[in-house]
Chains A and B, each alone.
Chain A
Amino acid sequence: AQSVTQLGSHVSVSEGALVLLRCNYSSSVPPYLFWYVQYPNQGLQLLLKYTSAATLVKGINGFEAEFKKSETSFHLTKPSAHMSDAAEYFCAVIRSGAGSYQLTFGKGTKLSVIP
């Protein structure tokens, strides 16, 4: 069974500083991995996805993530934080099989950006 663990329920960074949100996965088969962002009282928006192509994945809003099989990690980074990045971020893995696309989410990391 696939699962993801997000380290740190709350991360604070200064505006302009590096953003690093951690996600480790557990999967018995090569996973598909995703990062979603959720603004208050909103649905989820896809930031980026890894589907076994390039290990460094670039997403929207300047975010990127690197798939590291040896570390079973898929950490999300952004070189310079902006106030508008303050939101909750979810790492997710697909439980694939028989054409099903059931997402299993981590518990989320709330990112605060300090002016």
Chain B
Amino acid sequence: DAGVTQSPTHLIKTRGQQVTLRCSPKSGHDTVSWYQQALGQGPQFIFQYYEEEERQRGNFPDRFSGHQFPNYSSELNVNALLLGDSALYLCASNGRVNTEAFFGQGTRLTVV
């Protein structure tokens, strides 16, 4: 079992650009959540996808959007990047009846 996998591991983008991060959930999991972890902070919930729909959303602007595919994998898109978007982006998956979330290694995004 490969667990939750994220790609890429590191990314450098310029202000104003757009970025797409990818996540494959743990085998058997159908729910994917995305978190932003700024340096020295705890992870902050961005949104959660289930059955290809956004089920819950945290306090993030519309520049942050996502998608879930029929195979349960997910993408996080961020438009019009700001310097403040620099962070570790974590993907987590869980199953329908299991409250335990498994996290990927994260994607380190640097906006310059």
Contact = CB atoms under 8 A, between A and B. Distances in A.
Contacts of A103: 33, 35, 43, 45, 92, 101
Interface in A62-93: 90, 92
A44 interface: yes
A111 interface: no
Interface string A15-47: 000000000000000001000100001111110
A105 B48 contact: no
A10 B105 CA distance: 23
Given A43-B106, A44-B90, A101-B31, A32 B99 contact: yes
A44 B4 CA distance: 11
B103 A45 contact: yes
Contacts of A49: 99-100
B86 to A, nearest CB: 15
Contact of A102 (B40, B56, B106): B56
Contacts of B106: 42-43
Contact of A104 (B4, B45, B48, B103): B45
Contacts of B48: 100-102
Contact of B42 (A43, A45, A94, A106): A106
Given A49-B99, A102-B45, A42 B105 contact: yes
A87 to B, nearest CB: 14
A43 B99 contact: no
Given A102-B33, A102-B58, A90 B43 contact: yes
Interface in B56-78: 56, 58
A99 interface: yes
27 contacts: A36-B103, A42-B106, A43-B4, A44-B43, A46-B100, A46-B101, A49-B99, A51-B99, A90-B43, A94-B99, A98-B55, A99-B55, A99-B96, A100-B56, A101-B31, A101-B48, A101-B94, A101-B101, A102-B48, A102-B56, A103-B43, A103-B45, A103-B101, A104-B45, A105-B44, A107-B41, A108-B40
